[in-house]
Amino acid sequence: MQFIQDNLMTIGVALMALYMLIWPGISRKLAGIKEVGALEATQLVNHHDAMVLDVREDREVAEGKIPHAKHIPLGQLSSRLHELEKFKGKPVVISCRSGQRSLSACKVLRKNGFEQVYNLAGGIIAWQQANMPMEKR
C-alpha cells in the first residue's frame, strides 16, 4: 500500500498512457470499423471493386495519392456525402496521412449508412513504406 501512495503520480501516468494506447482499438471495434493494411486494401480494390477515399488536404494530395482514389478533404466530407452514394453498397477504403483522420471519416460514413468501411492502417505513410504505387495529380 505504501508503494502505491509513494508512486501515485507515476501509476496515474502509466494508466493514462495505457488507456491512450488501447482506446483507439476499442473505439474502432465498437464503431464497426475494420483496419486493413496496404496489401488487404489492394485486394479489396482488385477483387471486391472497393473505392479508395483520400481525406487529406489538397496540398498533401498534390504530393501523390493512391491510384484512382477519390479525394474529399475530411472537413468537406459531410457536405459532399452525396458524391459517394453510389458506393454505399461497396467496400470503401479510407486513407489519410497516418490513419487518424481516416478513422474519423470512417465514423462519418458508418453513421450515414455505409456498411463496408475500412480504415487504411498507418495511412499513406504505411502505403509508401510498403512500396505501393502512387500517382500524382
Per annotation, catalytic residue among 53, 69, 84, 96: 96
What pLDDT is recorded for position 80? Answer: 97
| Rg of the chain in Å (alpha carbons) | 18
Burial 28-58 (b: 16+ CB within 10 A, else e): beeeebebbebebbbebbeeeebbbbbbbee
What pLDDT is recorded for position 31? Answer: 60
pLDDT at 28 over 60: no
If pLDDT is split at 50, 70 and 90, which confidence band does 8 have?
Answer: confident
Q: Is 96 a catalytic residue?
A: yes
pLDDT at 110 over 60: yes
Average pLDDT, the chain: 90
CB atoms within 10 A of CB 134: 14
The torsion angles phi and psi of 93, rounded to 5 degrees, stand at -100, 125
pTM of the entire predicted model: 0.79
Tell me the three cell numbers of residue 130: 510498403
The residue with greater pLDDT, 4 or 57, is 57
